[in-house]
Structure 1
Amino acid sequence: MGFHNLKTNLEDGIYSIVIDREEKANALNAQTMQDIEGAFQEVYDNPEIKGVLITGAGNKAFVAGADIKEISEINYMTGRKFAESGQEIFAKIENCPKPVIAAINGYALGGGCELALACHIRVASENAQIGLPEVSLGLIPGYGGTQRLPQLIGKGKAFEMIMTGDPVGAKEAQSLGLVNHVVEQAELIKKAETILRRIIARAPLAVSMVIDCVNASQTTDDGYQTEANSFGNCCKSEDFVEGTKAFLNKRKPVFQGK
């Protein structure tokens, strides 16, 4: 599938998505959002894709925000639709049954921060700056940032970041739990791929259910029931039989995702 503003590549089960608007600091315009939605539909539909790595072109910006020219032209009605559409696309990422890692290679601001928040794991380069500066434009985050940021770093610090609009550097982001790892720029993609390879070597159905259960802890009244149901479903899978047999026979399991 071809995209206007993305470069994609599938190798050894890892689907790499590069937001390719380097001249615009990889800002999220309407076409790019449409491309991201299409790329994740491919992730859902293609069984050869086992995990996703998403990053930005160049070494200065992951995504430096939304396209301000487009935003300046919206009103109340179109603004609501703008936010709802973005929320729907990013929910597709958050609920993706395959692991998604954001490799944050510089500025991740506004919609770029929200994109990273929707991913399951975040790895940042040392030059990363992460924040939600929408209040400086008379706006608030609209793609889920007010909901996901407090889940990761707590209500108080989320209030401070969103209401001041001030970004945090990579090391502070790591100390807050906003990113999992901080590495040198040259090691960023390698680190993200290493984590993905470790995950996709595990049982795919179990990994998918982990995503469901962790998300349920924030979105349902009884995440424990989701966990119990998912545990039961794992127990009737072929992967469970293979995993336990492999352990008892002291060999590596060969999972089929069944």
Structure 2
Amino acid sequence: MVLSLNHGKGVNALCQALVAQLSQCLSDIYADNSLRVLIMRSTVSGVFCAGADLKERAFMADPEIEAFVAKLKSIADGIADIPVPTIVAMDGAAIGGGLEFALAADIRVVSDNVKLGLSETKLAIIPGAGI
């Protein structure tokens, strides 16, 4: 199975809508007994996932942010626990939560133009999904 990220206007930024879709996809993946391998990729040129949508997050109240970060952690944990080999194909940037999702997979395959980063480390804080 191939899971493609395609939220191009937001460079696959992890907004509430994309996070809800990823959560639903994980539920579907766990229900699929015929699954033998999962490949995650992006259909957006030059980016795998740019991490949290900070523009959307700026308008969230603290309880909403806590719930959102908990959902990101749940997705990262869900990726790590998928019972079949999980491969992430990255071409371009994988930042913050996008990199954490990739780190949760079993195998990462990257192009020669990939850029990886956990911007939280500049602020001396633990990345949101905890990976």
After TM superposition, the score normalised by the length of structure 1 is 0.47
SS of structure 1 residue aligned to 2:45:
coil
2:30 equivalent to 1:16: no
Range with greater deviation from structure 2 (78-87 or 60-69): 78-87
**Higher alpha-carbon Rg:** 1
* Cα separation, partners in 2 of 1:135 and 1:70, compared to 1, 3 Å: farther
CA distance in 2 between counterparts of 1:26 and 1:137 reads 23
CA distance in 2 between counterparts of 1:114 and 1:91 reads 10
CA distance in 1 between counterparts of 2:112 and 2:129 reads 25
2:46 equivalent to 1:60: yes
* Cα separation, partners in 2 of 1:71 and 1:134, compared to 1, 3 Å: farther
Deviation at 1:48, TM superposition (A): 2.1
Cα pair 2:16 2:68 within 8 Å, conserved: no
SS of structure 2 residue aligned to 1:127:
coil
Deviation at 1:77, TM superposition (A): 2.6
Unaligned runs of 5+ in 1: 1-14, 149-258
Once the two structures are superposed, the pairs formed by residues 3-42 of structure 1 within 5 Å of their partners are 15-42=1-28
RMSD: 1.9
User: Which has the bigger relative contact order, CA under 8 A and spacing at least 6?
Assistant: 2
2:30 equivalent to 1:48: no
**Alignment match of 2:129 (pick from 143, 158, 182):** 143
CA distance in 1 between counterparts of 2:79 and 2:112 reads 25
How many residues are paired up? Answer: 131
CA distance in 1 between counterparts of 2:35 and 2:55 reads 35
Percent identity (aligned): 31
2:118 equivalent to 1:117: no
Per-residue deviation, residues 207-236 of structure 1 (Å, max 9, x unmatched): xxxxxxxxxxxxxxxxxxxxxxxxxxxxxx
Cα pair 1:26 1:57 within 8 Å, conserved: no
Deviation at 1:139, TM superposition (A): 6.4
CA distance in 2 between counterparts of 1:56 and 1:123 reads 12
After TM superposition, the score normalised by the length of structure 2 is 0.89
**Alignment match of 2:90 (pick from 100, 104, 108):** 104
2:114 equivalent to 1:134: no
Paired position in structure 1 for 2:78: 92
CA distance in 1 between counterparts of 2:124 and 2:51 reads 15
SS of structure 1 residue aligned to 2:103:
helix
* Cα separation, partners in 2 of 1:80 and 1:58, compared to 1, 3 Å: closer
> Which one has the bigger strand percentage?
2
CA distance in 2 between counterparts of 1:102 and 1:66 reads 18
Unaligned runs of 5+ in 2: none
